Structure 1
Amino acid sequence: MKQTLNIITIVVLVISLSSCYGDKRKPNARYMASTDMYAPVGYETYAKNPNFKNGLEAQAPVEGTIFRGEVPYEIPNTEDGYVLAKETLKSPLEINEKNLSKGKELYTIYCAVCHGNKGDGQGILVKREKFLGIPNYKDREITEGSIYHVIMYGRNMMGSHASQLKNNERWQIVQYVEELRANLLQ
């Protein structure tokens, strides 16, 4: 019985190994032959890629599309846009401890290095004289809208933080900046 089992095992093994090698004139069966998984196309580094219209760059998003859950900011990056935002733009977020806490956290990461922990314009970069003339929130006529607009587009030497912060995160920072300003005015 044991000898028969060994013979059957050897026969099955020989048949299975020999089935992998067919007629040398015919290639073996290839699954997914229509894809490039078996013969990938190699592109030269930094060469134009025929898959993109612009060569190296990926396709731009379809015009007029936005990220899911985001609301487009349609006030232009002009002086008139700044004045419009200052006069009309209001925060959609409820003022509460959760938003203020998150605003403080984000302010510490993105803003305090220049504007200071108290909003007095005495951040670490100002103290080291890397940047001068950072405004004190107490000395400026700012509103929710103007703060948000400046975070979106930047102003004077301050660059835009729109790519680092989501819409609601910007509004949380606005709430915290307004709290800092109120503390400075006391």
Structure 2
Amino acid sequence: MLAMTNKFKVLGLIAASVAATVLVTSCKDKRSTGWEYAPNMYRHIAYDPDQKNNNFADGKTAQVPPKGTIPVGFTRFNYPNTRGGYDSASVTATSPLPTTKKSFEEGKVLYEHFCSPCHGMTGQGDGLVVAHGYPAPPSYSKGQSSRGGAMKDLTDGKIYHTITYGVNAMGSYASQLSPVERWKVVAYVHHLQTL
């Protein structure tokens, strides 16, 4: 009986030792060596955008970019949103894109997504918004521009200026279409002017 009790004590001691070992070793992250290769990647010293920053007079970390800066990949359109800017763009602004089948097809897709709800699929001013009671925009091939002249005679610069700034009930599409995409739409609108 004494031998049996000793066996249970030994087995209990072994089981407790194994359990304690498993518990202690499982709490340690086996992937971590305890060393950090680049601690500034984990605990950065840079300010968060919404954090107070005493380095600036207004105390804000997120600052407005300096005047005249241009975002990477942005193309400046140096014509103001005025009648003079529109007339100037009409004479001097031309598409920088080569006339290719690919850019024409991409312009068609962009036109169908962004322009056809108002201007219609064929540019006749018969888009879906007209069915909902909104005034119809002029036809590209038959209509007259609100700024004078026939719509079929609109130049690259006039169309691009209108897409960029909007006119009358049409708002600006500068935030929806990049400058390159706008030129592709201009190319497709020229096609619609001939229909």
SS at match of 2:194: helix
Q: Matched residues in 2 for 1:156 and 1:118: separation?
A: 21
Structure 2 contact 90–156 (Cα < 8 Å) conserved: yes
| Mapped partners of 1:63, 1:180: distance in 2 | 39
User: Which runs of structure 2 are paired with 1:11-160 in the superposition (5 Å)?
Assistant: 13=21, 35=43, 50-51=52-53, 53=58, 58-129=62-133, 131-138=134-141, 139=143, 140=151, 141-160=153-172
1:64 to partner: Cα distance = 2.2
1:31-62: CA deviation from partner (whole Å, max 9, x where unpaired): 869949xxxxxxxxxxx85259486x943233
The structure with more radius of gyration: 2
Q: Among all aligned residue pairs of Structure 1 and Structure 2, give the percentage whose two residues are the same amino acid.
A: 38
- The answer on whether the counterparts of 2:118 and 2:136 sit within 8 Å (CA) in structure 1 is no
TM-score by length of 1: 0.69
CA RMSD of aligned residues (A): 3.3
- Alpha carbons 2:126, 2:136 under 8 Å: kept: no
Q: Mind listing any 5+ residue stretches in structure 1 that lack a counterpart?
A: 21-28, 37-47
Residue-by-residue CA offset, 1:44-84 (whole Å, 9 max, x unaligned): xxxx85259486x9432333222222221111111100000
Pairing 1:162–2:180 present: no
Alignment length (residue pairs): 153
Asked if the contact 2:104–2:188 (Cα under 8 Å) also holds between the matched residues in 1, the reply is: yes
Q: Cα gap change, 1:35/1:96 in structure 2, threshold over 3 Å: closer, same or farther? A: closer
TM-score after normalising by structure 2? 0.66
